[in-house]
Amino acid sequence: MKYLESIKLFLTEHFKKMTADTLGWLAAIVLHCATIPSLLAVLTGLSDRTPNVDVILFIWAGLVLLFARAIILKDQLNTVTIGAGFIAQSVLMAFIIFK
């Protein structure tokens, strides 16, 4: 009985925050992954079409906003995730530009 009450208390107090944090983290990952397939296709020679600049600018603008939010909230997981994604995308774009 005591365990059920503690589980119920945990879920009512923490479940919404955990779900919101998880969705925010997944949003950052999905935004980073949006351009990866086309960038890899260009690098491997499967395609000669790069992603449209406007699409990349909107994705990066969204990521910058999520990054700023993570810094303001001192959310280290999102800060590291988004920062690593920026580095990975920059490296891929550098490979394409300096082929």
How confident is the model at residue 77, as a pLDDT?
85
Structure confidence by residue, pLDDT tens digits, 27-58: 888 888 888 888 888 888 898 888 788 888 88
From residue 41, alpha-carbon distances to 50, 63, 69 in Å are 9, 22, 32
Q: What is the mean pLDDT of residues 62-80?
A: 88
- Non-local (6+) Cβ contacts of 55 within 8 A are 34, 35
Tell me: pLDDT of 17 over 80: no
pLDDT of residue 20: 79
pLDDT value, residue 52: 83
Q: What is the pLDDT of residue 48?
A: 84
Residues 6+ apart with CB under 8 A from 32: 63, 82, 85, 88, 89
